[in-house]
Structure 1
Amino acid sequence: MDATVAPPATRPGRSLHSNPALTTRRGTRPRPWGPAASGQANAVRCELSRRPEPRLVLRAAADAQQGGGGGEAAGAGRRKRLAVFVSGGGSNFRAIHEAALGGEVHGDVVVLVTDKPGCGGAEHARSNDIPVVVFPKLKNAPEGVSVPELLDTLREHQVDIVLLAGYLKLIPAELIREYPRSILNIHPSLLPAFGGKGYYGLKVHKAVIASGARYSGPTVHFVDEHYDTGKTLAQRVVPVFADDTPELLAARVLHEEHQVYVEAVAALCEDRILWREDGVPLIQSRLNPDVYL
């Protein structure tokens, strides 16, 4: 679920040394936690240990979806058709839509689903001629559709992939069965921490800071019948500073959300999601198929 806080103007780099979110804040170096803060020299050298490559079931996600995703697995060559669900401003929806228009994502947003027809995400869809569907049917949204009607609408639009981008309602089991391994969500914490019903927006970041956690960050995961419990696909680590506020932390996490979600969606559209034998999804590198992200 994406927060409605504007991201920083600058884009951080890919390494710890080039990422301003990790090295600078308000023009100064961040105040560290722990012994280093009191001047103790306690540097530790960390190295990744060598380990055998995990045994993989080298089967793309689309090949594992026979009978799902609208009834037919999509071919790897054609552009995927995306349905995005939003409840608010839809900044992640906008990032995905812009990436699709720019060619970074091999797919197109063909329909937007929302429980709040007046939200910013719905307005952005209408301004870009993307059909808007209201779900579920509520007292204040009588134009809303039922679950069978929603499924029929997604089939009519030949949707391959469903993306949740700040959608606060629980996804019905019928939709999950219709799109196995084809529904993604973005959550603003490092799941499984600070996830589940009631954890969304600034509530997540307030809980992270109150817990004393030193790190947070977004998680992209597949969706199951519960809130935030599906298999993790990708994460980004964001530091929590000693004097952070929920708003400042939310802005840094949101900036990473826009990048990691686009990368995950691009991989799913290109059939680069591979499933390990224990059911863990991995992203296959576009440049080197022997590398998994």
Structure 2
Amino acid sequence: MIRPVGRITCALGCLLSLSPRLLDTGRLPPSSHRAAATAAAATARRGAASTPSFPLAMEAAVAPPALRPGRSLRTNPNPATRPGQTPRPWGLAANPQANAVRCELSRRPEPRVLIRAAAAAQQDAGDAAGAGRRKRLAVFVSGGGSNFRAINEAALGGTVHGDVVALVTDKPGCGGAEHARSNGIPVVVFPKSKSAPEGISVAELLDTLRGYGVDFVLLAGYLKLIPAELIQEYPRSILNIHPSLLPAFGGKGFYGSKVHKAVIASGARYSGPTVHFVDEHYDTGKTLAQRVVPVFADDTPELLAARVLHEEHQVYVEAVAALCEDRIVWREDGVPLIKSRLNSDVYL
């Protein structure tokens, strides 16, 4: 004989096993739905008075059969309601038994938690294997050096797996040079000129960079043309950032506010920074990364410059981080690509 709790469980199990899709498609007539619901409700009313564990049986009926991994099966945790009373079995049991079990829904971590955990694991693996030792960076500036500051802060904060070991400038009194001195970074003046008689020659510059063990050269607002000897010394190892979407609005004479004025005057709808490798000419090296910034109808060069500069600080740091972690690969046609830190099969 089936006990009341068994009847309740079986009735609810039959009712709840009907998927919403099955009911919605009309494969069962509406009268069958009403009949099943009425029968289940009547059975529940008859057994409610004598079955205190009915809510627990209903919970088990609607729970999926998946069990929590690594957890032991638990019996009814509810104590007897009266001294000497035997706890009622509960759960979806095929036959009456003394200790039925409860099926719990497996609780999985949220997707964001999994993504953060995967990112942390990948970063640790990259630091240990792919990135290797911290790379040594030389930054070239001619002005305030806001991109230099962003890169240096990222290096100090651990975002960039490298260290700025030297700053090279053609203007020893510029803001970038002052910031380097205040942070203990050696300042090298290059080239020698009337305004900078303390400047050094190309050969001396190469010797100086070798002495600092420089791995990569980063141009951050440096206005002089890089000598061919330096490019030959550091093949595919010199990056520059330009405040337009190259190849548009690039080349000799396009720097600073001149670029943004030209963009607005042309009627271009978009602008943005470009990170590219350096060759023997101005702004003609292979593009590594870009960011798109909209140009508004009422834009001024100052407003556009501020939005582009904000993107410069982000995209340049990301590109330098990839460079230091050896995540840049070259396509057969000579185009550089950034390999994702999270998935080596994805290129950014």
Q: Aligned match of 1:131 in 173, 179, 186?
A: 186
Residue identity matched to 2:202: V
Q: After the TM superposition, which segments of 4 or more aligned residues of structure 1 sit over 6 Å from their partners?
A: none
Q: Aligned match of 2:138 in 45, 67, 83?
A: 83
Q: Aligned match of 1:104 in 153, 159, 172?
A: 159
Counterpart of 1:282 in 2: which secondary structure?
strand
Instruction: State whether residues 327 and 339 of structure 2, in contact with CA within 8 Å, keep that contact through their aligned partners in structure 1.
Output: yes
Q: Does 1:266 align with 2:321?
A: yes
The aligned length equals 219
Q: Greater relative contact order: 1 or 2 (C-alpha under 8 angstroms, separation 6 or more)? A: 1
What 5-or-longer segments of structure 2 have no aligned partner? 1-129
Q: d(CA) in 2 for partners of 1:143 and 1:157?
A: 19
1:1-293 equivalences under 5 Å are 76-293=131-348
What 5-or-longer segments of structure 1 have no aligned partner? 1-74
Q: d(CA) in 2 for partners of 1:141 and 1:242?
A: 42
Shift of 1:76: 3.7
- Superposition CA RMSD, Å: 0.7
Q: d(CA) in 2 for partners of 1:157 and 1:113?
A: 12
Structure 2 residue aligned with 1:30? none
Instruction: State whether residues 138 and 167 of structure 2, in contact with CA within 8 Å, keep that contact through their aligned partners in structure 1.
Output: yes
Instruction: State whether residues 131 and 161 of structure 2, in contact with CA within 8 Å, keep that contact through their aligned partners in structure 1.
Output: no
Residue identity matched to 1:138: S
Structure 2 residue aligned with 1:15? none
Deviations 1:45-92 (A, max 9, x none): xxxxxxxxxxxxxxxxxxxxxxxxxxxxxx840000000000000000
Query: Which of the pair is proportionally richer in helix?
Result: 2
Deviations 1:112-157 (A, max 9, x none): 0000000000000000000000000001111100000000000000
Give TM-score scaled by structure 2 length.
0.63
Q: d(CA) in 2 for partners of 1:187 and 1:140?
A: 25
Q: d(CA) in 2 for partners of 1:268 and 1:88?
A: 24
- Taking every aligned residue pair, what percent have the same amino acid on both sides? 92
Give TM-score scaled by structure 1 length.
0.74
Counterpart of 1:149 in 2: which secondary structure?
helix
Query: Which of the pair is proportionally richer in strand?
Result: 1
Shift of 1:252: 0.1
Residue identity matched to 1:159: V
